[in-house]
Amino acid sequence: MITVLGINTAIDHLMQVGELRLGEVNRTMHEQVLPGGKGLHVAQTIAALREPVQLIGLVDAAHRNLTARRMSERGVLFHGVEIDAPLRHCIALRDAHGRITEVLGQGPELDGRDRAALQRAFLRALEESDLVVLSGSLPRGFAADTYAELAQQVRAAGKRCLVDASGDVLRWAVSAQPYLLKPNRDEAEALFGRAIAGVDAAVAALRELRAQGVAMPVLSLGALGAVGMDDSGAWHASVEPGQVRNTVGSGDCFLAGMAVAIARDQSLREALRLAVACGAANAMEVETGYVRTDQVEALLGRVRVEEWTR
């Protein structure tokens, strides 16, 4: 069983408009309300790849049923930690040109009682898991070293921890030496304070993360694919997708692919192949943070993975 901790559950409002006009009334042609958030995306993609998964995240009374129903439809065991304050809401407006304008709510501020409830749920789940994924932003009220502390708990339990975070949370997470870290290019540039233009620069950054004790650092580079490093060496993987519709959430689907392959004891090379196929499959769909299994399978044979020896 893989456990995903995706604390900051969002309620995503996806709206299709014609021309988006600022300061005027805009009417939608289509709208959808879905539970979201990075952890939720990772968990539902793991389930789509047919690996048992449970998700721990916040929920409020108004959205408990919506979230529980959706996660059950998608094959995810959901443990919602209920809070009194409303969840964060995120609005994505897609216009006739395919441009997406996002408005991201700041979300609730949590107190010590809520944080303790999450910690209890996490420790219960950890007992049943060999692999833990910590993914996404933290609600207000959490310290920047939250993922670092949780990753240490996972390591102390002799289990592997995969972390996707940004900014100070990422910086702290490095110090906890998780099994895998997956920054994207922007996150890695902020972490290292320098530009990471291509694969060579990305591999150099991975080498530094390995020296700091991260067993399998991975850097995702959008359309350029991804690079990863472990004892077997450095590998670069990429695939040319079909028509790209929405790349938001590709990193979440990528991480789900890594988690599934690692849970199945596959090599880094095979893990990157699955992860890159998942990232590209997400990019080909309008829905954020989910893949069609048939699309992943169709892409798998086209992924190029090569050892990076330069």
Ligand X SMILES: Nc1ncnc2c1ncn2[C@@H]1O[C@H](COP(=O)(O)OP(=O)(O)OP(=O)(O)O)[C@@H](O)[C@H]1O
Binding site for ligand X (CB under 6 A): 184, 220-223, 225-226, 241, 244, 247-252, 254, 276, 279-280, 283
79 or 185: CB nearest Mg ion: 185
Nearest distance in Å: CB 83, ligand X: 24
Residues 166-185 that bind Mg ion (CB under 5 A): 184
* C-alpha span between 203 and 197 (Å, rounded): 11
60 or 252: CB nearest ligand X: 252
Three-state DSSP state, 4: strand
Element (H, E) at 55: strand 53-60
* C-alpha span between 146 and 153 (Å, rounded): 11
- Label the pairing between strands 10-17 and 304-307: unpaired
251 or 257: CB nearest Mg ion: 251
41 or 115: CB nearest ligand X: 41
* C-alpha span between 47 and 252 (Å, rounded): 13
- No. of helices (H) and no. of strands (E), the chain: 10, 14
Nearest distance in Å: CB 275, ligand X: 7
Residues 22-61 that bind Mg ion (CB under 5 A): none
Please pick, from the candidates 35, 57, 178, 251, the single residue that binds Mg ion as defined by CB under 5 A.
251
Do 271 and 237 meet the contact criterion of CB atoms below 8 Å apart? no
Give the residue closest to Mg ion by C-beta.
251
Among ligand X, Mg ion, none, what binds residue 247 when CB lies within 5 to 8 Å by partner kind?
ligand X
In this structure, the number of other CB atoms found within 10 A of the CB of residue 6 comes to 25
Among ligand X, Mg ion, none, what binds residue 279 when CB lies within 5 to 8 Å by partner kind?
ligand X
Total residues belonging to the chain: 310
For residue 199, give both structure tokens.
Answer: 């694969």
121 or 161: CB nearest ligand X: 161
Amino acid residing at 108: P
Nearest distance in Å: CB 31, Mg ion: 25
Does 249 sit near Mg ion (CB under 5 A)?
no
